[in-house]
Structure 1
Amino acid sequence: MIFNLESLAERIYQLSILQQNEVLTQLKKVQLNSLQARSLTYISQYPGTMQRDVAIYLGKKQATVTNILKGLQERQFIYREIPKDNERQKNIFLTREGKQIVSQVNQIFEQLDEKVRSGLTKEEQKQLKENLLKVENHFKEQ
């Protein structure tokens, strides 16, 4: 098959680029990159998580995540706490400032979602979501 700029895969790719550019532009306003933002939102959803879990979520190596978390800690968005029953483990939590920045990040993603949904009827949104889930599940099955 010859590369086709009008293929579904190409449309998804182009949409992904547009979406990433939109998000990165907005994240720059709060001085975060996408990995920092995703780390913060993950920690927000799983308070007390460990670095290993953040690395798995991001699909990144431990060393990369160490640097990401170090930067977030220096900016006072997160703190690490060592539980009394396991001194080798460090649990990660958001600071007050971290919770505030996560609120801003969530707004960025809500605006993006609204932008995606605004051009579609409720029925089209439902159909698109179902079709995207089908494609995603097909990839996971292989």
Structure 2
Amino acid sequence: MNQERKDRKEKPKWDAFHFRLPREKDQLKFIELYRRSGAKTKTDFIRHRILDEDFHVVMTDASKEKYYRTLTVYLAQLHKLGVLYNQAVRTLNSYHSVVVAKTLTEKLERLSQKINANMEEVIRLIKERQ
């Protein structure tokens, strides 16, 4: 039993590697390369760099960040309106009473107007960026 433990300890661990970057300049360069690489983890990034495997570099343009955020907000609102629209149509199709049908029809008209306004705003934003 003890002999097995000794044998295990003597075998080098080839799957464990550790390294340090003592200079701050090197650390900053490593972090920047890692972020631009698009790798999921630092381990993946290092493995690809050492083994010369191909990886994609993802560049982000800070000037477009506000545009993407605004567009994301509009698309989220559009999705929310679409869900509400779908719920109203389902309720309308089940048809409870004339009063409920009239109320839901008015709600559908308001939602349709909001959807159209949202889509026009999204189209305007896209045309501005082109």
TM-score normalised over the length of structure 1: 0.28
Q: Which has the larger radius of gyration?
A: 2
More strand by share: 1
**RCO higher in structure (CA 8 A, sep ≥6):** 1
TM-score normalised over the length of structure 2: 0.30
